[in-house]
Amino acid sequence: MYGKKRKRRYHFLAVAAGPSIFLLTLLFLQSFFTFQGAAALGTMLWMVTWWILRPVNISVTSLLPIAVNGLFNLLPMEGIISQYFSEIIVLLFGADLVCLTWSTTGLDKRMAIKILCCIGPSLKQQIRVWLILSTIMSVFLPNVVVCTIMVPVAVSMLQFLGEGNIRSSRVALPILLAIVWGAGIGGFGSPLGGAANLVAINYLEQLTGKEFMYIDWLSRFLPFLFLIMLLNLFFLERIPVPSQQLGETKQYFSKLYAELGKMKEGEKISLFLFLAAMLLSFSRPLFADSLPALKPAYIFLICGFLTFLFEDENGKSLLSWEQAEHGVMWGMYFLFAGGLALGKMVTDTGAAAKMAELITILPLSGGLETIFVFNIFSCLLTEISSNTAAAAIAVPVVQNIAQALALNPVPYIMISIVAFNTAYILPVSIRAIPVSYGLDPTYLFRYGLVLSVSSVLVITIVGYIFMTFFPMFSNL
């Protein structure tokens, strides 16, 4: 009885904490941020509080932007609602349908065993391979595509090994973090890594008056990416786990794979649809002019649609709607969309711009402290919204402040690009994907916070060194 009362008391306090923080934010920040801006920030703090304390499911928390906007009319509602079935959500849905056929055809088991045959059961080796592979793929593909592809594969492998409860699995933790962290940082490896990079390039081209070649991007950012990846690996390998081995030996998995026999027709079609979606997404520049609307989101949706039409070796559809209803990660879509809606609310109410104004109050001289402040600002923006929204806000702010200080803005913008591509803490953007598969957001917050602080410091120091000793980093 006492335990039930204690649990109910905690639930009540956790529920009350969110709206209380919202009201306090309105009360104390309204004079500076305006009512709309303070309400947007209050919504952000409310969502963060409930994501941490979890009085309700984290996907339920993601619906708060709609509720708050309905009550206070901060923005036109269609701008908020549209985030819940945006292009990114279409991409997630299509990829989810394609990946569901892995379990209906048995492809997930085959892939999991094959991965273990190639990588082996060493947890350290698994972490390294997942991190490096996710990072490299994210250099060329949008990070949400990479995360959507890699997480289900890793979860399939872990479940095959008996780690059915991903939420409580300490073995799953570093592997899923390796994927989502790698997919996140790989984005700044090339302009193709995300829309945020294209936003930054647009500002740089306007600033310099000439085209920013992709090879110039690679030569400047790949050394930075390598260092950030090493920092991520350093943290991942120090996460405490119960065992450094995932299970049986490589020979055992090789024998197990041989017992599966040849791939069945359903598995082949499922794999073909998966690879076709990946290949078409990767090669989009080749047909973008002739098919401008066929973006990765719609490529994956078309392949997902085909899963209902193709049949396996037994004459059954690869996927039925009943299977889709039960298997699709509906909560993931709300979680991801909630982060997008929050980002739009913080941006369009002017709250983010007001936050930028606060930076100008600080005594900045252009040295380490200036880079550090810019990085903190960029990282904060990308944590609460998306890196694209962060780029749209941070780049012009950094440029204007640098020019006001009579400094060359190019190196500061370049360093900020790295900063708004390194977010680790909150379950928004791509970090919502592994959370929806069972990753405990408490661990994401705990380890992500330490890594985020470390990343800001490393980016600041390395950026200062690059800016000071490598002239090519400061000029285009």
Range with top average pLDDT, 21-35, 398-412, 414-428: 21-35
Is the per-residue pLDDT at 254 higher than 70? Answer: yes
Angle between helices 87-105 and 265-282 (to 10 degrees): 160
Q: Mean pLDDT, to the nearest integer, of 88-106?
A: 84
Burial, 406: exposed, middle or buried (Cβ in 10 Å; 0-12, 13-18, 19+)? exposed
Which residues on neighbouring strands pair with residue 55, listed in sequence order? Answer: none
Give the per-residue pLDDT at 138. 80
**Is the pLDDT higher at 112 or at 56?**
56
Residue with the two structure tokens 């350290």: 124
Lowest mean pLDDT among 244-258, 292-306, 340-354, 460-474: 244-258
Give the per-residue pLDDT at 348. 87
Digit-coded pLDDT (tens) for 143-166: 777 787 788 878 877 887 777 788
Give the per-residue pLDDT at 48. 81
Is the per-residue pLDDT at 392 higher than 80? Answer: no
Is the per-residue pLDDT at 360 higher than 60? Answer: yes
Give the per-residue pLDDT at 37. 92
Let me know the angle formed at the C-alpha of 397 by 393 and 400, rounded to the nearest 5 degrees: 150
Q: How many CB atoms lie within 10 A of CB 39?
A: 25
Give the per-residue pLDDT at 268. 92
Phi, psi of 122 (to 5 degrees): -65, 125
Q: Mean pLDDT, to the nearest integer, of 124-141?
A: 84
Residue with the two structure tokens 């990114």: 88
Q: How far apart are CA 101 and CA 244, in angstroms?
A: 31
**Is the pLDDT higher at 349 or at 365?**
349
Contacting residues for 399 by C-beta, under 8 A, at least 6 apart: 203, 207, 409, 412, 413
Is the per-residue pLDDT at 302 higher than 90? Answer: yes
Digit-coded pLDDT (tens) for 236-249: 998 888 776 666 65
pLDDT confidence band for 195 (50 / 70 / 90): low
Give the per-residue pLDDT at 212. 67
Which candidate, 304, 273, 308, 253, places its Cα nearest to that of 111?
A: 253
Lowest mean pLDDT among 258-272, 324-338, 376-390: 376-390
CA dihedral 260→264→267→273, nearest 10 degrees, is: 150
Is the per-residue pLDDT at 185 higher than 70? Answer: yes
Give the per-residue pLDDT at 247. 62
* CA atoms in the 13 A half-sphere facing the CB of 263: 15
Which candidate, 437, 420, 416, 427, places its Cα nearest to that of 374?
A: 416
The answer to whether the CB of 34 falls within 8 A of the CB of 350 is yes
Phi, psi of 438 (to 5 degrees): 125, -10
Q: How many CB atoms lie within 10 A of CB 456?
A: 19
Q: Mean pLDDT, to the nearest integer, of 22-30?
A: 94
Specify the pTM: 0.69
Is the per-residue pLDDT at 42 higher than 60? Answer: yes
The answer to whether the CB of 120 falls within 8 A of the CB of 110 is no
Contacting residues for 349 by C-beta, under 8 A, at least 6 apart: 34, 36, 37, 39, 40, 74, 75
pLDDT confidence band for 357 (50 / 70 / 90): confident
Q: Mean pLDDT, to the nearest integer, of 432-456?
A: 89
The pLDDT mean for the chain works out to 84
What percentage of the chain has pLDDT greater than the value 90?
A: 26
Length of the chain: 476
Is the per-residue pLDDT at 142 higher than 90? Answer: no
Give the per-residue pLDDT at 166. 83
3-state SS string over the chain?
A: CHHHHHHHHHHHHHHHHHHHHHHHHHHHHHHHHHHHHHHHHHHHHHHHHHHHHCCCCHHHHCCHHHHHHHHHCCCCHHHHHHHHHCHHHHHHHHHHHHHHHHHHHCHHHHHHHHHHHHHCCEHHHHHHHHHHHHHHHHHHCCHHHHHHHHHHHHHHHHHHCCCCCHHHCCCHHHHHHHHHHHHHHHHHHCHHHCHHHHHHHHHHHHHHCCCCCHHHHHHHHHHHHHHHHHHHHHHHCCCCCCCCECCCCHHHHHHHHHHHCCCCHHHHHHHHHHHHHHHHHHCHHHHCCCCCCCCHHHHHHHHHHHCCCCECCCCCECCCHHHHHHHCCHHHHHHHHHHHHHHHHHHHCCHHHHHHHHHCCCCCCCCHHHHHHHHHHHHHHHHHCCHHHHHHHHHHHHHHHHHHCCCCHHHHHHHHHHHCCCCCCCCCHHHHHHHHCCCCHHHHHHHHHHHHHHHHHHHHHHHHHHHHHCHHHHCC
Is the per-residue pLDDT at 2 higher than 60? Answer: no
Is the per-residue pLDDT at 454 higher than 60? Answer: yes
Give the per-residue pLDDT at 308. 95
Give the per-residue pLDDT at 249. 53
Burial, 290: exposed, middle or buried (Cβ in 10 Å; 0-12, 13-18, 19+)? exposed
Which candidate, 257, 238, 232, places its Cα nearest to that of 181?
A: 232
Contacting residues for 27 by C-beta, under 8 A, at least 6 apart: none
